[in-house]
Amino acid sequence: MSEPTAPVVPPTPPVPLSALLAREDLGLRQLAGPPAPDTVIHWAHTSEMADPYPYLLGGELLLTAGVHVPGAAGGAPGSGDVESSGRYFEDYVSRIVAAGGAALGFGLAPVHDTVPRALVDACEAYGLPLLEVPPRTTFSGVARAVWQLMARARLAELRRVTEAQQSLAAAAARPDPVPSVLRQLARRLSAHALLHGPDGTVIASAGRAPAPGTQEALRKLTGVVRPDTARDAPISATDALGDIQLAAYALGGSSGFVLGVATRRREPADHTIASVAAVLLSLLTGEQQSGAGAARSSALVRLLLGSAPAEVAALLGGGDDGRWLVVHARPESPENGTPDPVGAAALGAALGSPLIDLGRDVVRVLVPAGPEPAARPGWTLGVSAPAGPDGWPAADAQAGRALARARATRTPLVRHGARPGLSELLPRAEAAEHARALLAPLAAAPALTETLRTWLSLHGSWDRTAVALDVHRNTVRQRVTRCAALLDTDLDDPDVRMELWFALRQG
């Protein structure tokens, strides 16, 4: 049987052995091995095999009642050969250590009244923590305590990651986003954080003063992930400088920017938190590297100073024909009903545009016309027809209506229909004038107009209209009834519905 050189522990939050010993309900007592705070366990496993090696993955608290111990190896006075007892337990403990076992728990009763002295000596010699499990404590109770501590550790880890994500996203929205993100990252990890430019120079830093040699070690580590210094470079790399843990993260693919992090110890959630910071810094440094951010800022300034959208659209880097799509998006899961900045930025990147507007309940993205946007996992999308700058307001309304229909029909993506219809046979000015006259009774109540539009588009479905508008179905009924009264017409008549739909489409 081939034996691995290094056991691989399960990917679960480790539990300090000291936390298990602190449980008064278990009554565990350490008899041998290094101090409990220096030991962590990843799970509990019970085995009465004389050689537990094949059944261990590493990191376990192995529990045994000593059923496997030969009568001559008990180690009690007068029970047998003390020398053979020592050899047995030395072989037993060495196999646990070779398999990566973290600790051994020995249960008293019904087989043994005391922990064999030879076992205590062997665990001390091999540096394996040995726990005495009293008769009143079952092995299942110990295992349950381990899983409870693991669940608490996992919950604490998730809470830490969530809080870090929120604080990093808030930092990215500050006027000085790059230094703010670095400061927040350094605070969350108790670390020293550095941002290296494409030429390897330190652009910004934050956190506690690094130990001598840390910055140079990080500079060398950034060369491992920087695309211009290594073909097929990884996106992240780790190293150590004494007791200092080092990590480097490439930002923005080929941009050349690299995030470096130095910490005194590496916690399980550190990599996830640093990766979130790396994504945010990728977005921030990507704009600086490409110069597109400056062009978009220039476009915004010109719009604020009175320039027409058509005059500044070229600065935004749109499609070849100067046309754009407006995309409205909402998260699918109810618990994430409010979009967050990180998710919105990721959606914009997936759609190929950094022009994002994060609203209270919807994300709007201005996307260059070209390949049609595809559905995105976790999002419901409404897409407008292609439009030039002068048509952006109308396209925005189209995307909003398409999103409402997508949510009502539980469809991942709905595109605004651009197919020519009967309305194209009439002069546009005459059609618009007819629509204004027909819908005049509703002009003072935009909510009624939008409800009627949505209700007609969904074939008179009260429930789906309520979903699309985020209102109660009784509210939909009241509004539609009010529309019928103001328009003095029968909304059950298909001819009336057709004429109203034609008029609403001109709006």
Looking up tokens 């080929």 gives 254
Looking at residue 381, its pLDDT comes to 92
Structural domain contains residue 50: yes
Please, where are the H alpha helices in 247-322? Answer: 270-290, 292-304, 309-312
362 and 401 fall within a common domain: yes
| Closest to 288 (Cα-Cα) out of 335, 333, 251, 236 | 251
Q: Which of 290, 309, 332 is the last residue of a domain?
A: 290
| Residue 335: both structure tokens together | 């618990």
Structural domain contains residue 168: no
Predicted confidence band of residue 428 (pLDDT cuts 50, 70, 90): low
Q: At 191, which helix (H) or strand (E)?
A: strand 191-196
Structural domain contains residue 5: no
Adjacency order of strands within the sheet including 244-250: 202-207, 191-196, 258-263, 244-250, 236-241
Adjacency order of strands within the sheet including 130-133: 29-32, 130-133, 103-107, 60-64, 43-46
Residue 34 has pLDDT above 80, yes or no: yes
Is residue 324 within 8 Å of residue 366, measured between CB atoms? yes
Bridge-based pairing of strands 202-207 and 191-196 is: antiparallel
Is residue 325 within 8 Å of residue 383, measured between CB atoms? yes
Q: What are the residues whose beta carbons fall under 8 Å from the beta carbon of 344, sequence distance 6 or more?
A: 356, 358, 363
145 and 20 fall within a common domain: yes
Structural domain contains residue 487: yes
| Residue 223: both structure tokens together | 């060369």
439 and 396 fall within a common domain: no
Q: Which of 415, 447, 467 is the last residue of a domain?
A: 415
Structural domain contains residue 351: yes
22 and 138 fall within a common domain: yes
Looking at residue 317, its pLDDT comes to 64
448 and 408 fall within a common domain: no
Q: What are the residues whose beta carbons fall under 8 Å from the beta carbon of 499, sequence distance 6 or more?
A: 438
Looking up tokens 């929120």 gives 166
Question: What is the percent of the chain with per-residue pLDDT over 70, rounded to a whole number?
Answer: 85
Number of domains in the chain: 4
Q: What is the mean pLDDT of the chain?
A: 82
Q: Greater confidence, 259 or 1?
A: 259
Q: Please write the tens of the pLDDT for every residue from 281-312.
A: 888 776 544 555 566 667 777 777 777 777 77
137 and 201 fall within a common domain: no
> What letter does residue 459 receive in the DSSP assignment?
T
Q: At 195, which helix (H) or strand (E)?
A: strand 191-196
Q: Please write the tens of the pLDDT for every residue from 171-180.
A: 888 777 888 8
Structural domain contains residue 411: yes
48 and 96 fall within a common domain: yes
Average pLDDT over residues 33-45: 87
Looking up tokens 């600086």 gives 288
Q: What are the residues whose beta carbons fall under 8 Å from the beta carbon of 272, sequence distance 6 or more?
A: 161
Looking at residue 503, its pLDDT comes to 83
DSSP bridge pairs for 261: 193, 247
Length of the chain: 507
Q: How far is CA 418 from CA 125, 182, 398, 424, in A?
A: 80, 46, 10, 11
Residue 230 has pLDDT above 70, yes or no: no
Range of the domain at 132: 15-149
Looking at residue 326, its pLDDT comes to 92
Residue 232 has pLDDT above 60, yes or no: no
Check which CATH number belongs to the domain holding 475 and give it. 1.10.10.2840
Looking at residue 52, its pLDDT comes to 93
144 and 20 fall within a common domain: yes
Alpha-carbon distance of 400 to 220, in angstroms, equals 50
377 and 433 fall within a common domain: no
Looking at residue 4, its pLDDT comes to 45
Question: What is the percent of the chain with per-residue pLDDT over 90, rounded to a whole number?
Answer: 27
Structural domain contains residue 443: yes
Alpha-carbon distance of 213 to 195, in angstroms, equals 17
Q: Which of 370, 393, 415 is the last residue of a domain?
A: 415
Check which CATH number belongs to the domain holding 105 and give it. 3.40.1390.20
Structural domain contains residue 463: yes
20 and 114 fall within a common domain: yes
Q: How far is CA 319 from CA 343, 353, 396, in A?
A: 24, 11, 17
325 and 276 fall within a common domain: no
Alpha-carbon distance of 180 to 327, in angstroms, equals 30
Average pLDDT over residues 194-207: 83
Alpha-carbon distance of 215 to 283, in angstroms, equals 24
Q: Please write the tens of the pLDDT for every residue from 378-418.
A: 889 999 988 888 888 889 988 988 898 888 788 889 988 75
Looking at residue 197, its pLDDT comes to 79
Looking at residue 427, its pLDDT comes to 63
Q: Greater confidence, 231 or 331?
A: 331
82 and 136 fall within a common domain: yes
For 157-180, give one letter per residue: b (16+ CB within 10 A) or e.
eeebbeebbebbbebbeeeebbeb
